[in-house]
Amino acid sequence: DWDGTLMDSTAHITRSIQAACRDLGLPVPADEAASYVIGLGLRDALQIAAPTLAPADYPRLSERYRFHFLVKDQTTELFPGVREMLQELRDVGYLLAVATGKSRVGLNRALDQARLTSLFDGTRCADETFSKPHPAMLHELTRELGQDTARTVMI
C-alpha cells in the first residue's frame, strides 16, 4: 500500500476530503470518518465520506479533492526509514510492488517525487482495476511478477 503505509499522507488526504466537501456545501466529515476511507479508490472513498451527495455530482467533488490534494502535496513525505527499508528488501532479492487506491497519474507523480520508481517491480492503481479491498490488484501483481499468492505479503 502507499498512503498511510509508505507515505505519511493521512492528514493531507483527510484535510483534502474535508475541504472538497466544504467547497460543495456538504456536511464535512470528521477526521476519523475522512481518514477511514484511505486506501479505497477516489470514487468509493468519496461516496463513503459524502453519502448525501447525488451520484451525478461525484465528478465535481473529485475535482475539488484533487485541487486541494495537489495544491498542498509538498507537505507529504515518506515515513522515516521507508527508503532504506525498501532498498534493503530489494538488495536481498525481494520483489516489491505497490497496490494503491491512488490513480496512475497520482502514483507515478508520488514515486517520481520520492525517487522510488526504480525500486518497484510492479504497481497497480485503482483506476486500472478493482479498488481495494477487492483482491484483484494483488492477484494481478502476483501473476505479472510470476509469484505465488501464498508467498505474497500485503502491508
Q: Is 97 helix (H, G, I), strand (E, B) or coil?
A: strand
Q: Determine whether 23 is exposed, middle or buried from the number of CB atoms within 10 Å of its CB (0-12, 13-18, 19+).
A: middle
State yes or no: pLDDT of 131 exceeds 90: no
pLDDT at 143: 96
Q: Residues 119-141, buried b or exposed e (16+ Cβ, 10 A)?
A: eeebbbbbbebebbeeeebbbbb
pLDDT digits (tens, 9 = 90+) for 46-80: 889 999 999 999 999 999 998 998 886 555 689 99
- CATH architecture assignment, domain 77-151: 3-Layer(aba) Sandwich (3.40)
Q: What is the CATH number of domain 7-75?
A: 1.10.150
State yes or no: pLDDT of 40 exceeds 80: yes
So where are the chain's domains?
A: 7-75, 77-151
pLDDT at 125: 95
pLDDT at 57: 92
